[in-house]
Amino acid sequence: MTEMVYGTVSVRDGEPILPKWWRTVDKWALSCILMLFGVGILLGLAASPPLAERNNFAPFHYVQRQAFFGGLAMIAMFLTSMMTPVMVRRAAVLGFVGAFIALALLPFFGTDFGKGAVRWYSLGFASVQPSEFLKPTFVIAAAWMMAAAQDLGGPPGRMYSFVLMVAIVLMLAMQPDFGQASLVLFGWGVMWFVGGAPMILLIGLAGLVVLCGSFAYNNSEHFARRIDGFLSPEVDPTTQLGYATNAIREGGFFGVGVGEGQVKWSLPDAHTDFIIAVAAEEYGLVLVLAIIALYATIVVRSLIRLMRERDPFIRLAGTGLACMFGVQAMINMGVAVRLLPAKGMTLPFVSYGGSSLIAGGIAVGMLLAFTRTRPQGEIGDILRGRSR
C-alpha cells in the first residue's frame, strides 16, 4: 500500500524540525489562530482603557498585559505543535496531575477576587486559574485511557476516565464554576461518543446531566439566579446582559465606528466575558461573522484531518480538543446574545486573561500537533483492507 499523507508528499526521515513542521502543520488553522489573537489585541485597544482608567492604570495597561501573555501563548503553541503525539501525551499527563492537585487545593489556598467563586491562585503580580490548564490536559489523559481500553486485555480506561471526569466536575461545581464543569463534561462526552459508546449509555448520561442540573438549581443560589435571569422574558437594562444586548443592537451591520462604542464604559467584563459585545457595537455584524468564521475554520479543518487519522488516541484527543475549543467560543458568544445563561467564560484568544491565553495556546498547540500530516495509510484504506 502506497504511503500517503492526506494527498501530500510524505515526510522525509532526518529532515530538520522547522522545515518538517512547516510542511506538515495545518497552515489554514494556524493562520486563523494568529488572526484571532490579532483581533483580540484590536478589541483590547477598544475595551480595556475604561477599566484601566477606573483602576488608575495607564490607558493601555491591560492591552500590554494581553500582548505579553498572548506572546507567551504563541510561543507555547508553536513549541507544543512541534512535538510528536507521544511527547504531547507525556507532557499533558504530567500537566494534568499538577493541574488536578492545584484544583483540589483551591478551597484552602485560592481566592475569589471578590467575585464569589474561588477559582484563582493569587501570585501578587498575576493570578492563575487551574481549571484553564486542567481542561486540555484532562482531554489528553482521558483519550489515552479510552484508547488503551480498545486494546486486547487493556485496562478499563473508560471507567477510569469517567471517575476522573466526575471528580473534576464536582470540584468545579463547588467553586462554583458551572461553565468550566460543563465544558469538561462535554469534552469527555464527545470522546466517549467517538470512541464507540453505546447509545443507551449516552442517553443515560444526558438524563444524569438533567438530574444534576435540577439539583444544582434547587441547592445553589448562584446557579438558580443565572437560570432565572436567562428564562426571564424581560432583560434588566442595568445588568451585564442588558448592556451587552443593547450594544449588539446598536452596532447593526457595520457598527457605530471605531472608538465610538459606549458599552465598554458600563460593562465591568467588557474586555473578558463580553468582548464580543464590544466587537458588535463598534465594528458591527461584519466583524462578528468574521470571528465566527475563524473559529469554524479551525474546528472543521481539524475534524476533517482527524477523520483520516488511524491512531485511536490521536483521533480521540484531537476531537476532544477541537470540539471543546469550538464550544467554548460558542458559549461565550451565545451568552452575549442571550441564547445561553451567563457562564463567566472567555472567548479563546480574543478575551483578556493570562491563564486562558496561555492554556489556550497549549491546547491549540496540541491540536496542531495531532493534525499534522504523518506518513501513514489513511484509515479508510485500512478498513477496506480488513474487509477483504
pLDDT in tens, 131-160: 999 999 999 999 999 999 888 788 888 999
Tell whether 137 is covered by a domain. Answer: yes
With a cut of 80, say whether residue 84 has pLDDT above it: yes
Average of per-residue pLDDT values in the chain: 86
Give the H/E segment covering residue 268: none
Backbone angles phi, psi at 277, to 5 degrees: -70, -40
Tell whether 372 is covered by a domain. Answer: yes
Q: Model confidence at 380, in pLDDT bands (50, 70, 90)?
A: low
With a cut of 60, say whether residue 39 has pLDDT above it: yes
Place of cell 464543569: 181
Q: Model confidence at 112, in pLDDT bands (50, 70, 90)?
A: confident
Q: Model confidence at 312, in pLDDT bands (50, 70, 90)?
A: very high
d(CA 81, CA 73): 12
d(CA 325, CA 336): 17
Tell whether 5 is covered by a domain. Answer: no
pTM to 2 decimal places? 0.88
213 Cβ contact partners less than 8 Å away, ≥ 6 residues apart: none
pLDDT for 4:
38
Tell whether 96 is covered by a domain. Answer: yes
- Which grid cell is 14? 532526518
Tell whether 238 is covered by a domain. Answer: yes
190 to 136, 205, 385: CA distances (angstroms): 14, 12, 28
With a cut of 80, say whether residue 322 has pLDDT above it: yes
Q: Model confidence at 11, in pLDDT bands (50, 70, 90)?
A: very low
pLDDT digits (tens, 9 = 90+) for 43-62: 998 888 888 888 888 888 89
In this structure, are residues 135 and 359 in contact, taking their beta carbons and an 8 Å threshold? yes
Q: Model confidence at 252, in pLDDT bands (50, 70, 90)?
A: confident
Tell whether 304 is covered by a domain. Answer: yes
**Which of the two residues, 234 and 17, has the higher pLDDT score?**
17
Domain count, the chain: 1
Tell whether 322 is covered by a domain. Answer: yes
Domain that holds residue 237: 19-383
